[in-house]
């Protein structure tokens, strides 16, 4: 019996040590930074490694000519605007792990060179409704099986705007040059009934902008229009 008790005590001690060792394990996450155009600005190139969870880093974007090439925003993983501040703190975690790109304006009205865009407005002509639920998805043109939820929500008006937190990249080496967008609208009528509208195969690429800051997709038959905007400093100041 005594040996049995000693064995249990030793086993308990070993389990306790294992638990404390596991709880104290440090996690590491990768943080990388770059510039949308290294010839006109830098995106804190010194950050390109793995860091212990909880480490505080500074994202610093520096334009070589802030009047001609102003900083616009930091974009995380080519899909989300992380901050519009050129200097921003970042705490390392699983949620913040990723690639951060410092986006700079390519010069006044030079929207051909700007590779990041956002869906900024949805307008749908309908009447007698109380709410509209919307979900926008997109996929690479060459691999439509990969769907990314671009934005979703609810609106009480037919013009839905300000999606500047959700962006997509048109010219990134690791991304396609065109995307196929789809939109699902659930219109809740005043009498409580639902009308579901699906719009698919909306192609967006850089050529559609034709050197302009915006491209508007029009579906006159169904009363739908989508406005896509290239990222600019003024876009975030509206």
Residue that is last in its domain, among 45, 79, 104 = 104
pLDDT recorded at residue 16: 34
Residue 8 lies in a domain: no
How far is Cα of residue 65 from the mean position of the Cα atoms in its chain? Answer: 27
pLDDT recorded at residue 109: 74
Cα(138)–Cα(145) distance, integer angstroms: 10
Residue 115 confidence (pLDDT) above 90: no
- Residues 230, 216: contact at Cβ < 8 Å? no
Q: Domain total for the chain?
A: 2
Residue 16 lies in a domain: no
Residue that is last in its domain, among 83, 104, 125 = 104
Residue bearing tokens 């639902």? 194
Residue 9 lies in a domain: no
Q: Per-residue pLDDT tens for 15-30?
A: 332 333 345 699 999 9
Q: How many CA atoms lie within 13 A of 43 on its CB side?
A: 23
> What percentage of the chain carries pLDDT values higher than 90?
68
pLDDT recorded at residue 17: 29
Q: The CATH number of the domain where 85 resides is what?
A: 2.60.40
How many Å is the maximal CA-CA distance in the chain?
87
Residue 5 lies in a domain: no
Residue 11 lies in a domain: no
Tell me which of 57-61, 102-106, 143-147, 216-220 is least confident.
143-147
For 23-47, what is the mean pLDDT? 87
Q: Give the count of beta carbons closer than 10 Å to the beta carbon of residue 22.
A: 8
pLDDT recorded at residue 172: 56
Cα(132)–Cα(189) distance, integer angstroms: 9
- 103 pairs with which residues across the strands? 73
* Listed residue (203, 216, 212) closest to 122, CA to CA: 216
- pTM for this one? 0.84
User: 210 and 172: one domain?
Assistant: yes
Q: Which residue segment(s) compose the domain that 180 sits in?
A: 116-236
User: 238 exposed, middle or buried (CB, 10 Å; 0-12, 13-18, 19+)?
Assistant: exposed
User: 76 and 164: one domain?
Assistant: no
User: 43 and 89: one domain?
Assistant: yes
**Residue 224: which residues within 8 A CB-CB, separation 6 or more?**
122, 123, 124, 125, 183, 197, 199, 217, 218
> What percentage of the chain carries pLDDT values higher than 70?
85
User: 160 and 215: one domain?
Assistant: yes
Residue 186 lies in a domain: yes
Q: What's the DSSP call for residue 207?
A: G
User: 162 and 95: one domain?
Assistant: no
Q: Per-residue pLDDT tens for 164-208?
A: 999 998 865 556 678 999 999 999 999 999 999 999 999 999 889
User: 152 and 96: one domain?
Assistant: no
* Listed residue (183, 224, 194) closest to 130, CA to CA: 194
User: 95 and 73: one domain?
Assistant: yes
Tell me which of 1-10, 132-141, 157-166 is least confident.
1-10
Residue that is last in its domain, among 56, 77, 104 = 104
Cα(109)–Cα(228) distance, integer angstroms: 16
User: 72 and 128: one domain?
Assistant: no
pLDDT recorded at residue 194: 96
Helix (H) or strand (E) holding 16: helix 2-23
User: 124 and 89: one domain?
Assistant: no
- 102 pairs with which residues across the strands? 35, 74
User: 93 and 121: one domain?
Assistant: no
User: 68 and 146: one domain?
Assistant: no
User: 127 and 204: one domain?
Assistant: yes
Residue 4 confidence (pLDDT) above 80: no
Tell me which of 37-41, 106-110, 167-171, 203-207 is least confident.
106-110
149-155's contacts with Cβ under 8 Å and 24+ in sequence apart are 150/119, 150/181, 151/119, 155/131
Residue 22 lies in a domain: no
Helix (H) or strand (E) holding 21: helix 2-23
pLDDT class of 58 with cuts at 50, 70, 90: very high
Residue 52 lies in a domain: yes
pLDDT recorded at residue 230: 93
Residue 146 confidence (pLDDT) above 80: no
- Residues 194, 184: contact at Cβ < 8 Å? no
């Amino acid at each position: 019996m005594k040996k049995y008790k000693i064995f249990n005590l030793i086993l308990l001690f070993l389990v306790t040590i294992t638990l404390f060792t596991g709880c104290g394990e440090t996690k590491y996450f990768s943080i990388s930074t770059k510039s949308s155009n290294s010839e006109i600005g830098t995106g804190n190139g010194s950050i390109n490694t793995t860091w212990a969870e909880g480490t505080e880093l500074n994202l610093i974007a520096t334009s070589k000519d802030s009047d001609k090439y102003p900083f616009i925003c930091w974009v995380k993983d080519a899909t989300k605007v992380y901050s519009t501040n050129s200097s921003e703190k970042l705490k390392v975690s699983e949620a913040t792990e990723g690639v951060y790109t410092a986006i700079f304006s390519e010069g006044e009205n030079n929207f051909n060179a700007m590779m990041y865009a956002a869906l900024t407005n949805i307008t749908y002509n309908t009447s007698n409704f109380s709410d509209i639920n919307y979900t926008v998805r997109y996929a690479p043109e060459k691999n439509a099986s990969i769907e990314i939820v671009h934005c979703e929500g609810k609106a009480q008006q037919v013009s839905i705007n300000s999606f500047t937190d959700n962006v997509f990249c048109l010219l990134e080496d690791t991304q396609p040059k065109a995307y196929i967008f789809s939109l699902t609208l659930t219109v809740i009528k005043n009498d409580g009934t639902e009308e579901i509208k699906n719009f698919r195969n909306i192609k967006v690429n850089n050529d559609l902008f034709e050197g302009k800051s915006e491209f508007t997709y029009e579906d006159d038959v169904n009363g739908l229009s989508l406005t896509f905007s290239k990222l600019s400093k003024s876009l975030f100041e509206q």
